[in-house]
A and B are shown apart, each in its own frame.
Chain A
């Protein structure tokens, strides 16, 4: 699902380790790095397993669903975010286990609560890329 939130969506800096994540996002797919040795689902994306030390890591499809672990409604943003306040900064706990930093978009900030079920959306940026944010299910 594509959701143009209107939030700042600069082109992310990519590395050899993270290119597969961002290329998938641009295609509307949410992938997560997973350790082929211990099956730990890794966050943030990298080609190293912090759980077991393995470098045998592959990107696999994520369900794209999870729950809000914590959030804040930022009333006074800074820099380019100043004009987008209030916005919701959150940690989402993915069904696969990782807790990832993101925004909750497309909803009234007052409707967001810890434990609420969320669904990933692809927020299009410049250059054909996309940032993964979440909306309430």
Chain B
């Protein structure tokens, strides 16, 4: 059974806040849920399936389903870190295609800036690998630095090439009034910013923001009744990349599985994609993901991202909201905002300075966990719809 075209994204909402000291995390979940339902022209009473991840307070999805007053016949709290919401989207699309549900709500919210550490910041001590990874000063950026160093060694990737990714995101972010960092930066400014874990600098890293976002996905039949433009889910993929039975490959991600699955389901190729939202926890995350998704050969990511290829008007415009590198990385989880900006592009509602002309096909990709250990990758390919 192909799910392609059976489900549409009908509503999206990104919380405009980046510092939210005076609201609770459940309040942010509720605000973004309301925003996405309003965008779709639907109400809480229309929702029959709810999806959330570890950022949602309480017991799996049950606490927030209860808080929101939902009547659900499907629930899913799959946790793959920042990619969770794209995994949820795939699961929701499949449940819609199967006829199990009609209106799915997916929410993300958190307060890592003003409310203490976000979820996923420290691995549970009950994890079986804990004592073999917790004793050596591993932190998030140091883990990604291990991947960057190996990629540089194998393929000759440079810090300046990684900096191109931040530069593109920053050029886009200047047009986003909600962006946490809105000033364009240069390659020199990135490589001269403080070194945190060689070879990654402070400006190779994403921002830390409060906030959240939500998606509403509906059946094609319900989409046809809505006045709002809805975007069909054409292809989906999930890939889990582990430490590979003790022989970790730091230069590959789960996108080597999720990407081909999504492209095959959609019946398109990387060359067909007009706009791409690529998970950008760090610059290296983007570069390796582009290779694994097939936008270029393995090892050629450094050349691919050079000369402004990722900037609006370039070969593959990416993260036109400014991405996690500049705009927003709510709850330390960037997957939700990737889908939201892809929908904005398909609807022609991105900022005029970064809007891709005649954007018909968009890709959104999430990466959760860590390139340095184990991760879940998820890819969505969305159409423009009407």
Contact = CB atoms under 8 A, between A and B. Distances in A.
B250 A74 contact: no
Interface string A36-47: 000011111110
A75 B198 CA distance: 7
A7 B137 CA distance: 9
Interface string B128-151: 111111011111001001110110
A70 B153 contact: yes
B153 A18 contact: no
Nearest to A97: B247
Given A72-B146, A81-B137, A131-B135, A50 B250 contact: no
Contacts of B133: 44, 101
A25 B125 CA distance: 21
A13 interface: yes
B142 A74 contact: yes
B245 interface: yes
B131 A87 contact: no
B177 interface: no
Residues of A in contact with B, size category? 35 or more
Contacts of A46: 128
Interface string A8-51: 11101111011000100000000000000000111111100011
Question: Chain B contact residues (Cβ within 8 angstroms of A): what range?
Answer: 20 to 34
Chief secondary structure at chain A's binding surface: loop
B245 A44 contact: no
Nearest to A7: B137
Interface in A39-76: 40-46, 50-51, 69-76
Contacts of A15: 128
A50 B246 contact: yes
B195 A75 contact: yes
Nearest to A98: B246
A75 B150 contact: no
A6 interface: no
Given A40-B245, A114-B149, A45 B132 contact: yes
A70 B146 contact: yes
A76 B198 CA distance: 10
B98 interface: no
A137 interface: no
Nearest to B245: A50
Contacts of B128: 15, 17, 44, 46
Nearest to B149: A70
A77 interface: yes
Nearest to A69: B150
Contacts of A17: 128
Nearest to B126: A13
Contacts of B125: 13
A5 to B, nearest CB: 11
Contacts of B145: 72, 74, 89
Given A70-B153, A72-B198, A77 B139 contact: yes
Interface string B15-43: 00000000000000000000000000000
Contacts of A90: 146
- The 7 closest A-B CB pairs, nearest first, are A43-B246, A72-B145, A70-B150, A44-B132, A98-B246, A12-B131, A81-B137
25 contacts: A8-B135, A8-B137, A10-B135, A15-B128, A43-B246, A44-B129, A44-B132, A44-B246, A69-B150, A70-B150, A71-B146, A72-B142, A73-B197, A74-B198, A75-B197, A77-B137, A78-B139, A81-B139, A89-B136, A89-B138, A89-B145, A89-B146, A90-B146, A99-B248, A101-B372
